[in-house]
Each structure stands twice: as structure tokens, then as C-alpha cells.
Structure 1
């Protein structure tokens, strides 16, 4: 068996974590080719997120649209499993990083994944329209197909809000970005067509929610569907941090999901 020379070993080791995200050397930190000292004080955090993920720089309008989506998803209260778990973890003697990780780790398909799923749904509609179907027909086809696989359509309806208060401000910003030619508007049109389709014949509407509105933004900005979930995690991490910090200051120890004087219902041996 041929052995690796020292020079080859050095190159092999250097290539092991080859990356275009960062160049780091003594006295040098470059993010996507930009010296970090040039970014400090000149780049907004949303613009930096864009640059790190997509490798390009957003326009000012695109950065504002991304920032709006990130702001909208920051928190939804301690009844959200991720926040409740982070708060409980914060009373168990762990640090803020562990409390945050505990909450973030449950942001899965059922809790936190609707944005990614909605981007996938809207991508299906946009693909069909690109192949020549009207957006109405494409929406009807995609809704029918998704309903065969899913009990609900991600991005529409909300168990708390008859109309999600975050929806209209986000969609208004998308419309303004379309008018300014910052984004194309294809996914926004698809989302509204899906909303119209799922409400056809209904007396009680199922409006687009925060996941749908942010999915429109992330898709319009060119983020692949999996990154929609990653961006949501970044956004919700702020709320999780705030809740974990607040709970850590309460002085409580080993806080559980229900008050200590409330006992879980015993179902008996037949269950």
C-alpha cells in the first residue's frame, strides 16, 4: 500500500474541510471573500446571513425583506414546545447554550417545519405554471396532490389566530418588493392562488399564516426550501434565548411541564 508523503498529508488535511465560506489565516478572517473588518459596522446582520448562505450580496430591499421575515418569526409564546422545553431546561442547572439547544432540537417537521414544507408546495405550483398551466389550475392540482399525502396544507390556518397578525405586513412588503423589481412575485402569486383554492366553497376561511408568508419571502429571495427551516430556526432562537434567560432568573429548580400540585390523570391498567 502506498504511503502518504508529509507534503501530501498536509494537503490532504487542508482539503478535509475545504470551504468557500471563510478564509482564515494568521491575521486574516474573510467571509465569502470579504474581510470581516470591512463588514463590521457596514453590513447588517440579515445581509450577512444572505451573504453567508448564498455567497452573494443582497440589495438593500432584499435585505429588508429578509429582516422582516426574521423579525416576524422570533417568538410565539411559552406554549410552543421549543420554548417550553428551553424554559424547563434552564431550571435544570444547565447553561443557556444547553437550554437553547434543547428547545431548538425539537424544531422538526411538526413544530417548525411548516415554512420549509410550504416553500416546497409553492415550488410545485411555480413549476407547473412554468410548464404552461395557469396558476389557478396549478394550485388546484398541487392542493389535490398534497391533500392526498397530508392532513393539512403547511402555511395555511392557525390554531390560535383567526387571521395571523403577522401575515398582512409581510405580504405587503412582498408586494412592495415586487413593485420595486426586488423579487419576481411568482411565489406570492402561487400562495394567493393556493389560498383561494383551499377556501373554495368554505364559509369559514383558512387564511395564510406566518409560515406561509415567510415561505413566500424566503422563496422569493431564492432560498432553497431546507434553508427556510434553517432561517426559521435562526429567527426563533432569539425568542428561545429570551425565554431561557428569563426563566433562569426565576430562581425555580427543575420546573416541569405542569405545576407541582397538579397531578397527571391516571388512566388505569386497561390503557
Structure 2
């Protein structure tokens, strides 16, 4: 991947200082390092949009974990960031990977040529949701605890992907699921931002097993911002005291 000697640093077969620094964006470099392909301008634009979309979402568990860890160990910025990143799971951030993987598996199981119109995508989406429901599984990317009437990131990212000529089968199937899932689930749920990010990343060629890594890359920037704010306007102690002072102790039921 990279190497160095006394005079030069090489990365991806290029001279770091002469060919990469000042000429390649960080998002472009991350894509290149993971896929071993340099992204085109459209792919870079979509990736940049995804990283911005996933950077921060307020006082999520990942942000709270980072701030409280920083309260406990202000000498360990890396520990606070790590604490926040470790919380990237099936409910927060991990949905990006879960949704991208779900869509990818559905497309592989379908196997045929991709539909050419919305009606074809809707039929495939309906069958996909029915199969998921029959297996008693959740459809990842549906619903949001805050944006119950629609995640504002979803239409914007879809629009960027279309404009960048990066709208592919994962986004097409995801949008179709958004149109038809209520026929199976009995209620209308919004397509959330983490899910649409997974679909977009898959469409620009990010390997499915690496999708969560890009969500974590984005959130790392958000956690840096949270911790910078914690230094300026600390709330970690308030969080700790609120929990500690308001918790009700319940005696454990012990076996005699």
C-alpha cells in the first residue's frame, strides 16, 4: 500500500509529496486506498456527500460516549474518539453497512437483468420485502427515531447521485422499497439517511464489507467536533451527574 525511505514516501505506487499532496482530496484518497481504483469526479462527489451526511447527528450515543470518556480521561483524546466509534452498531451507523449489504444480497439473489422502469423495480422491491417479512427480519434503512416524516438527507443524496451519474441499482431498489414497503408492513416508514448512504456507497463501487468503515470515517470527524465543543463548553460532568443523581437503585433478586 505504501512505503518510505530516507528521501521519499510512496503510496499507491505514487510519490506522496509530488503526486498526491495538494492534488488528491482525502475522500478521493480513502476510496483509492480501499478499492485500488481512483474514483472519477462523480464518485468523489457522492462519497464527499456521504461523509458529510454521516458526520454528526447531535447527541447520539456515540457522541455521548465520546464526551463522557473524555470527562474521565481528558489526557486521552484517542480514547474518547475510540469510545464513540465503538458504538457504531446495528442502531447507529451500522445501518449504512446493513442496508448496503441487504440491497446487494437482494440484487444478487434476483440474478437477472436489472429492471428498466419503476414498475419493474417496484415488483422486485415488493418481493424483497415480502421475503424479508416471511423470514421475520427487519428491512434495514426504514424508519428514523427523529425524522419520522422523512429524512432530509435521503432526497438530497439521491439527487446528487443522479446528477453525478452515479445512480445505480442499489439506490433504485432502495427507492422502490420506499414506495412499496407499506403494502407488506402495513405502515409507511421513511427511508433513513444511513440507509441511503449505504446504497449510494455500494453504487459507487465501495465493497460491501467496507461500508461501515466509511460511516466510521465520517463519524470520526463528527466526534472530533463534539470533543472540541466539549473542551469549549463541557457537558460531560452534567451528563454523569444527571444519570448518577436520578438513578433509582433496585435491590437485585438473589437466589437463597
TM-score range, shorter chain: 0.7 to 0.9
Larger radius of gyration: 1
Task: Report the equivalent of 2:225.
Answer: 242
Shift of 1:268: 4.8
Match of 1:154 among 140, 155, 162: 140
- The total of aligned residue pairs comes to 246
The question of whether the paired residues in 2 share the 8 Å contact of 1:195 and 1:208 is answered with yes
Tell me the alpha carbon deviations over residues 37-79 of structure 1, each in whole angstroms, 9 at most, x when there is no partner: 121111111111111111111111211111011111110111x
Task: Report the equivalent of 1:163.
Answer: 150
- SS of alignment partner, residue 91 of structure 1: helix
Mapping 1:227-238, distance limit 5 Å: 227-238=210-221
- Compare 198-207 and 220-229 and name the one that shifted more: 198-207
Q: Give the alignment's TM-score, normalised by structure 1.
A: 0.81
Task: Report the equivalent of 2:63.
Answer: 83
Task: Rate the CA distance shift 1:184–1:204 in 2: closer, same or farther, 3 A.
Answer: closer
Task: Report the equivalent of 2:160.
Answer: 173
Task: Report the equivalent of 2:22.
Answer: 41
The question of whether the paired residues in 1 share the 8 Å contact of 2:55 and 2:221 is answered with yes
Task: Report the equivalent of 1:219.
Answer: 202
The question of whether the paired residues in 2 share the 8 Å contact of 1:103 and 1:240 is answered with yes
The question of whether the paired residues in 1 share the 8 Å contact of 2:158 and 2:167 is answered with no
Task: Report the equivalent of 2:11.
Answer: 31
1:54 aligns with 2:35: yes
The question of whether the paired residues in 2 share the 8 Å contact of 1:92 and 1:254 is answered with no
Q: Give the alignment's TM-score, normalised by structure 2.
A: 0.86
Q: Gaps spanning 5+ residues in structure 1: where? A: 1-20
Q: Pick the structure with more helix per residue.
A: 2
Match of 1:109 among 84, 87, 90: 90
Task: Report the equivalent of 1:200.
Answer: 183
Q: Gaps spanning 5+ residues in structure 2: where? A: 115-119
The question of whether the paired residues in 1 share the 8 Å contact of 2:141 and 2:195 is answered with yes
Shift of 1:109: 2.5
The question of whether the paired residues in 1 share the 8 Å contact of 2:202 and 2:208 is answered with yes
- SS of alignment partner, residue 259 of structure 1: helix
Mapped partners of 1:265, 1:92: distance in 2: 23
